[in-house]
Structures are given as structure tokens and as C-alpha cells.
Amino acid sequence: MKRKFSDLHCHNHMRAHFQMQEKQKKFTRKGEFSPWTVIASNSKAIEDGKMGASYSQIDLVKCWNANLRLTFNSLYPLEREFVQGMDPKIKEDKWYHFLASVLLGDKGLRRDLLQTAYMRIPDKVVDYFQSPDYDYWESLTREKNFVIKDSGIRIPKNEMHVPGAILGERKAAEKRAKEDPASYVAENACYRIPKNRAELQTSLADDTEITMILTIEGAHALGTDRVKTVQDISDRVQFIKKMWEVPVFFITFAHHFDNRLCGHAHSIPGMGKILMKQRPHMNEGFRRNGHRILREILGLNLAGEPDSSLGYRILIDVKHMAARSRVEYYDLVKMRLAKGDRIPVIASHCGYSGIKTLQDHITFEKKEKDDYTDPSGKFNAWNINLCDEDIEVIVKTRGLIGLSFDQRILGLTSDDIKKDKTREKKRNSIQLIWENLEGFVKSAYSNPNLSAAEKTSIWKCLTIGTDFEGLIDPVNPFPTVLSFDSMANQLVEVIDLARKDPKATHLAHFKSSADVEKWVDDFCFGNAEAFVLENYPE
Ligand SMILES: [Zn+2]
Ligand SMILES: [Zn+2]
């Protein structure tokens, strides 16, 4: 049986939505207004850039062809800080600066990568993001409507859009599409966003459709920057729970900038203009209003007790939440756990930090320069990653960790990049993925606060959470969802070799290659499937 895949955090529709959201009528007329539409590049050079011949990382067509059958698709109204202060008249300025800061820090420019990302968002849309008309809440609603549009509909074949192309370029793009059908063509394909748990079960049992779970990245999406009172934010949470056609499974509470509710973890490398904008409330704790909104998202009242009038429980994803804020969130989680109410902690697209406690992360904040690693030199030790204390709470609440596919998050340093140029066994490979997975496992196994059964349950808490289409620079051999199968095969090989070391007691339960295969299946699909089945709203 062909291996199935899941992704706990990615943005499947992002590219299509960015291209089309401002011109819905035009694209509807052409029959292209759909999350299935592939946005193809008008230039071969760009497609052949850093991210390989494949232009997008995880659009629905690629998901379909990669046998990805469960996706946690994240809605994300782009934060305006990224585009503020950039001159719309200077074409190069906008995304050039944005991407230079986000992706490259103050290190040399990687032109290929830059251009690939530049193509993602048309100038007109950038102008719109800069204008006073741009409202996160409206944008979130539009994005949700776009994504649910074709849910449950089987399409004979997807459309392809080549932005700004003249006829010759379009012809060339069509030729490229013919040569690479896995990247451009899905036939007789379907995705479905389940309305409830019963529909989820049916959908997961049906391999001829992609089960799509909706999530939101950043509580700023509620429009926290423009509302008059906290009551308005509260009303919007209820609006999502009571009026949206489908449930939201989790919210990644924080993101890159101040959301007026909690602190966000330092995420942007280098000293660019954007880093300056990231400073307000960075690495801080919760604000008073933040506590209230957090509780209401979880369906808890002022006394911290479950209250059905607050609607179903939307889970919280702690990725991007500052260590100081996580301390406060975990206090609530532990208080509820002691009362028999388990709130599974999700960390949807993370690496291991190699740090012991959240307090250590707080103490070491000032050290968070580019290439800052834990003492082993292996892991990215910024507080955006997970420390032993995070892992303990995740295990105890039977939560879920999505492993990010971003090189930097996984601890690749500029020194590694230099050494990889000449060394045979490159770190920018399956090694980076396995080191982080093993980091999580060893952390649980060496934690005296976890019982023997809890220690081994860490294997159930691990899954793929790439952040594809989230402006990331993926681990070299795995640039898109189409490389998942090769990733899984390589992972089997690496673990199968590692388990033969008698000192590797944390791998002792793998008695054969078949045992390893079975776990890799769980990592790729089974763990995420079991988790969503258990925790999806009724
Ligand atoms: Zn993110
Ligand atoms: Zn993301």
C-alpha cells in the first residue's frame, strides 16, 4: 500500500489566494477562482531556482499527487508590518526588502530563492496590503470563503494560471506543465473540510479525497489591532464558532508581530527593518485581554471552568508564542489537567531547542543572534523552538508536535552551510530531520517528571508540520510535498541504522526494519490522524 501523508501546518491555498483575492470577478469569469488553481511561473529560470523545478511547495495539486490525504491548512492574513514603510513606486523595494530580511537576515542574498518568493504575490496585492483598507478580519473571512468554496466537490481537472504572461510565456508554461504533470495536473480530485467528527471519520476512511482541517495562524486575524474593545474580539471568536460553516481545529495564537494579546517569540533573523517592527511586546507575557480571549477560544469562563455557551473548544498551538507567555498558558493547562480536563498542547511547526526550561529560554533571550545554538551545537536554541519543559507538557496532555521543514528552525548554521560544500555526508539532509526528531525523543526519555509509559508515548506525539508556503527555506533534498515519499524512505534507513547501536536504548523497541517502517508511517500520517479523530469537535 502506498504511504499516506499528513501536514500539521502548511498553507495550501496561499499562493492562489494571494494572486486572486483582489480580482475575484475576473478569475471567476475565467473559471479559475478555486483553491485548486496552480499558479505557474512565467519564467523557467524561476522554476529552476533554489526550490527546484517545482514552483510551489504544497498547493493542492501537489498534495493530491503526493498522496497527502490529511492537511491542516492554515488561514493567515499577512501581517501589515511586513509591507509597511516600503515604497510601492519602487518595484524592487517591496518584496526585496521583505524577503531579504525574513529569509536571509543580513547575510548574502540568495537571488534565486528571493525571486521565487517574489513571484508569489502580485504588486497590486502588495499595494492593497499597504492601504488603510486592509483589515485582517475581513481578509480572514475572504480567505475562509475561498478555501471552503470547493470543499466536497470533485473536479475533473484543475486550472493553471500564469501571472502576467504574454502568449509565448504561457505556451512555454503549458509545455513545462505537460512535462511535469505531478506538479501541475490533478484529475478527478477532491478535498473536503469536515463539518463535524462523523464527517471527519468518513472522509479519512476515503482515500480518494484529501481531508482538510482548517486552522488559523495568528490571533491578529481577529482584527485585534482595530477593534474598539475586547468585547469585539470576544464576539468574533463566537462568530467563528457559531456562524462559520466548518470548525476551526486550532489557532496558532501568536505570530511574528504584536497581537495585543500575548508575547510572540523572536522569529526574524538579522537586523533588517522588519526586526525593528518585531520588537514591541516580543518575548513578553500575556496581556489581560489575552487571558480572556485565550480562555474563550478554549471554551472556558472567567472562573476557568468549561462553559458550553462559549461554544466548542478550539485548541491552541503554541508555535510562535514567547517562552514567557507559554509559562502562563501552561499554568492554565496544568490547572485544567488536575481537574481531569485535558487540553492537548499543539506545537505545529517546530524544531527542538536543546534547552531545558522555559526560564532558561527567558534568561538566554539576549543570546538569540543568528546561528545561536544549544551547547551541543546541533539545535536552534531560540525560544521559538521547543525546550524540554514544552515537550513534557505536550506528552502529559497527549498533544502533538509538527516537525518544521525549515533549515534554520532545524538548526542549520552558516558554518554547516560552509562545511556542507565539501563534506560527503551533508547535514542539510535527512540528518537534520532525524536529529531533531531524536532530540524530542531523548528529551522525553531523560525527563524524570515523566513515567515510563509517558516517555514512550513521545513517539505518538510526532508528525510532519512543514510550514510549506509559509516563506520557508526547506531542507535541501525535500523542497516540496512531492519529496515526502523519498523523505520517509530515507528516514526508515537512518533509524534502522541508528537502532543497531546498543547504546541507543531509546530505540530498543524497534526490533526490525518493519517496526521502523511502521513508526515512520505513524510519523507521516497515523499520529496526526489519531489525534484529529480524538480531538475534532463533535
Ligand atoms: Zn509560523
Ligand atoms: Zn505558517
- pLDDT-based confidence at residue 190 (cuts at 50, 70, 90): very high
- 15 C-alpha to center of ligand 2: Å? 13
Cα 459–Cα 267–Cα 74 angle in degrees, nearest 5: 60
- 467 C-alpha to center of ligand 2: Å? 5
d(CA 193, CA 441): 32
Write the pLDDT tens digit of every residue in 21-72: 878 899 999 999 999 999 886 655 444 444 433 368 899 999 999 999 999 9
Distance, CA of 330 to chain centre: 21
The ligand with the least distance to the CA atom of 466 is 2
pLDDT above 80: residue 75: yes
- 500 C-alpha to center of ligand 1: Å? 36
Q: Is 38 helix (H, G, I), strand (E, B) or coil?
A: strand
Alpha-helical runs (H) found in 4-121: 14-20, 24-29, 44-47, 60-65, 93-104, 111-118
d(CA 153, CA 112): 36
**Rounded mean pLDDT, 330-349:** 98
d(CA 378, CA 412): 8
pLDDT above 50: residue 411: yes
Name the residue with cell 494579546. Answer: 261
Would you state the pLDDT for residue 166? 72
- 249 C-alpha to center of ligand 2: Å? 15
Domain carrying residue 181: 1-217
Length of the chain: 538
Residues 6 or more apart whose CB falls under 8 angstroms from that of 95 comprise: 114, 117, 118, 121, 126
Residue 27 lies in a domain: yes
Q: Which residues of 307-344 are buried (b: 16+ CB within 10 A; e: fewer)?
A: eeebbebbbbbbbbbbbbbbbbbbebbeebeeeeeebb
The ligand with the least distance to the CA atom of 319 is 1
Residue 528 contacts residue 69 (beta carbons within 8 Å): no
**Rounded mean pLDDT, 389-411:** 97
Question: Ion ligand 2 — residues with CB under 5 Å?
Answer: 217, 467, 470
State the amino acid at position 465 in one-letter form: G
Would you state the pLDDT for residue 21? 81
Would you state the pLDDT for residue 20? 84
Write the DSSP symbol of residue 401: E
- 504 C-alpha to center of ligand 2: Å? 34
pLDDT above 90: residue 308: yes
Would you state the pLDDT for residue 298? 98
Lowest-confidence region among 129-133, 277-281, 486-490: 129-133
Question: In three state form, how does the secondary structure of 346-361 look?
Answer: EEEEECECCCCCHHHH
Lowest-confidence region among 79-88, 197-206, 309-318: 79-88
Would you state the pLDDT for residue 98? 56
- pLDDT-based confidence at residue 88 (cuts at 50, 70, 90): very low
- 469 C-alpha to center of ligand 2: Å? 7
Residue 38 contacts residue 184 (beta carbons within 8 Å): yes
Write the DSSP symbol of residue 524: I
- 215 C-alpha to center of ligand 1: Å? 12
- 478 C-alpha to center of ligand 1: Å? 18
The ligand with the least distance to the CA atom of 11 is 2
Would you state the pLDDT for residue 163? 74
d(CA 249, CA 314): 5
Percent of the residues in the chain that have a pLDDT greater than 70, as a whole number? 88
Say how many domains are in the chain. Answer: 1
Residue 36 lies in a domain: yes
Write the pLDDT tens digit of every residue in 121-134: 666 777 788 888 89
Name the residue with cell 514567557. Answer: 324
pLDDT above 60: residue 366: yes
Lowest-confidence region among 11-15, 182-186, 271-275: 271-275
Q: What's the whole-model pTM score?
A: 0.94
pLDDT above 50: residue 107: no
**Rounded mean pLDDT, 526-537:** 98
- 9 C-alpha to center of ligand 1: Å? 8
- 108 C-alpha to center of ligand 1: Å? 23
Q: Which of 283, 311, 275 is nearest to 295 (CA)?
A: 311
d(CA 278, CA 260): 13
Residue 179 lies in a domain: yes
The ligand with the least distance to the CA atom of 267 is 1
Write the DSSP symbol of residue 447: -
pLDDT above 70: residue 119: no
Per DSSP bridges, beta strands 68-75 and 5-10 are parallel
- pLDDT-based confidence at residue 418 (cuts at 50, 70, 90): very high
Residues 6 or more apart whose CB falls under 8 angstroms from that of 152 comprise: 190, 192, 193
- 350 C-alpha to center of ligand 1: Å? 9
Write the pLDDT tens digit of every residue in 261-276: 999 999 887 655 566 6
Q: Is 508 helix (H, G, I), strand (E, B) or coil?
A: coil
Residue 77 lies in a domain: yes
Percent of the residues in the chain that have a pLDDT greater than 90, as a whole number? 76
Write the pLDDT tens digit of every residue in 465-483: 999 988 788 899 998 999 9
State the amino acid at position 155 in one-letter form: I
Residue 314 lies in a domain: no
Mean pLDDT of the chain: 90
d(CA 51, CA 480): 8
Residue 355 lies in a domain: no
The ligand with the least distance to the CA atom of 347 is 1
Where would I find the beta strands (DSSP E) of 386-494? 400-403, 462-464
d(CA 487, CA 490): 5
Would you state the pLDDT for residue 170? 83
Joined together, the cell numbers standing for residue 104 give: 536571509
Run of H or E residues at 453: helix 452-456
- 406 C-alpha to center of ligand 2: Å? 11
Would you state the pLDDT for residue 482? 95
pLDDT above 70: residue 158: yes
Would you state the pLDDT for residue 7? 98
d(CA 211, CA 197): 12
Joined together, the cell numbers standing for residue 520 give: 515512520
Longest dimension (CA), the chain: 66
Residue 145 lies in a domain: yes
Joined together, the cell numbers standing for residue 444 give: 522525553
Joined together, the cell numbers standing for residue 533 give: 479523530
Would you state the pLDDT for residue 115? 43
- 216 C-alpha to center of ligand 2: Å? 9
Joined together, the cell numbers standing for residue 483 give: 519529496
Residue 279 lies in a domain: no
- 237 C-alpha to center of ligand 2: Å? 20
pLDDT above 50: residue 105: no
- 217 C-alpha to center of ligand 2: Å? 6
Residues 6 or more apart whose CB falls under 8 angstroms from that of 207 comprise: 4, 69
- 349 C-alpha to center of ligand 2: Å? 8
Write the pLDDT tens digit of every residue in 212-262: 999 999 999 999 999 999 999 999 999 999 999 999 999 999 999 999 999
Cα 113–Cα 116–Cα 118 angle in degrees, nearest 5: 105
